[in-house]
Amino acid sequence: MYHPALYTPITDILGCQFPILCAGMGGVARYQLAASVSNAGGFGCIGMVREQPEFIRKEVNLYRSISNKPFAINLIPAATEARLLAMQIAECIALKINYMVFFWDVDKEIVKQCRDNGIQVIYQVGSKRDAVLALEAGVDALIVQGVEAGGHVRGETSLFGLLPEICAFSSVPIIASGGITTGEGMVAAFALGAQAISCGTLFLATEESNAHYFHKEKIVAAEASNTVLCYNFYRNWPMPAAVRVLKNDITESINHPYKSHLNNPIGEQDGAPIYPFSTDSPLDGAVGDIASMALYCGQGCGSVKHIKTAATVINDLMQEADRYLNRF
């Protein structure tokens, strides 16, 4: 039994033991990672942005073959072609998915469709404006993402600037996201009104994540100042969007030689070419110039010292938070 402050009401809504979510990460958070997180008492999320319905079905069936715990499917409506998005949602309804996590522009119609079909909706937002829109749409919980976050970054405000502002008016529970990699960070987010945390970078660097080993090792070696918020990785994404990545030759050179060879692949993932400046991060099995790809990473990386199992990550977070809360 941990400190009572670590058992927050949202764990009842999510049906998990501990207030720790694994962020939906396209390509990286597949069924193995999501199930490992859920089986260890956290809440797993399968990142299925722009995946075909057949693949979603396959991942969900594989998840259910190794876990009977609740989990979410993560989609990004604004980054998905309308026809595919409609098919993805229909597939999730058919699969009787209980929770969806959405990100980027708030899509009220999709929220309504999910809720009408008994799905609980969690929206990740990066501003007060989007939080208001998500609440108007009727979401069940919000993830507040700070600018410290790895991957695509929606807003411009630090987590600790935004969190109390949104907590002040939110009628639904809040989950904090961006730069949290320790139990102490979790307690700090709770002190500002969050009931749970959602971590990406921390779970990317686990044995079960589908990220390329090079990416995991780079995170373990990095500190906050090695990350940068930039617009250098934009291909294969429908709108200009900021991403937080590890600095590399792409982010550090204004006139990178790849700019003159945009149509020459720099690598391959599962038989498909990877082009320079692509938003696709390298996954297990990728080959080529991995170091020049999008190596997403949040500012909490300095505390990620080892590649662990997801269960060890959750155990360590809970113990660190418990130790801090019981320090006197």
Ligand X SMILES: Cc1cc2nc3c(=O)[nH]c(=O)nc-3n(C[C@H](O)[C@H](O)[C@H](O)COP(=O)(O)O)c2cc1C
Contacts with ligand X, residue ranges (CB under 6 A): 23-26, 28, 47, 49, 74, 76, 103, 124, 145, 148-152, 177-180, 199-202, 204, 281, 296, 298, 300
Nearer to ligand X, 25 or 142 (CB): 25
In the complex, what is the shortest distance from the CB of residue 156 to ligand X, in angstroms, rounded to a whole number?
14
In the complex, what is the shortest distance from the CB of residue 301 to ligand X, in angstroms, rounded to a whole number?
8
DSSP letter (8 states) at residue 290: G
What DSSP string runs through 39-79? HTTSBEEEE-TT--HHHHHHHHHHHHHH--S-EEEEE-GGG
Nearer to ligand X, 108 or 261 (CB): 108
Residue with tokens 């720099």: 266
Burial group, residue 270, by CB count within 10 angstroms (0-12, 13-18, 19+)? exposed
In the complex, what is the shortest distance from the CB of residue 58 to ligand X, in angstroms, rounded to a whole number?
18
In the complex, what is the shortest distance from the CB of residue 203 to ligand X, in angstroms, rounded to a whole number?
8
Residue 255 has a CB neighbour count (10 Å cut-off) of: 7
Nearer to ligand X, 68 or 130 (CB): 130
In the complex, what is the shortest distance from the CB of residue 263 to ligand X, in angstroms, rounded to a whole number?
25
Nearer to ligand X, 177 or 206 (CB): 177
Residue 159 has a CB neighbour count (10 Å cut-off) of: 26
Nearer to ligand X, 148 or 208 (CB): 148
Burial group, residue 265, by CB count within 10 angstroms (0-12, 13-18, 19+)? middle
Instruction: Decide: 223 and 42 in contact? Cβ < 8 Å.
Output: no
Nearer to ligand X, 19 or 47 (CB): 47
Nearer to ligand X, 69 or 152 (CB): 152
- How far, in Å, are 137, 144, 145 from residue 166 at the CA level? 16, 8, 11
In the complex, what is the shortest distance from the CB of residue 268 to ligand X, in angstroms, rounded to a whole number?
19
In the complex, what is the shortest distance from the CB of residue 218 to ligand X, in angstroms, rounded to a whole number?
12
Q: Provide the strand spans (E) within the chain.
A: 20-22, 44-47, 71-75, 99-103, 120-125, 141-145, 151-153, 174-177, 196-199, 227-230, 242-246, 267-269, 272-274, 287-288
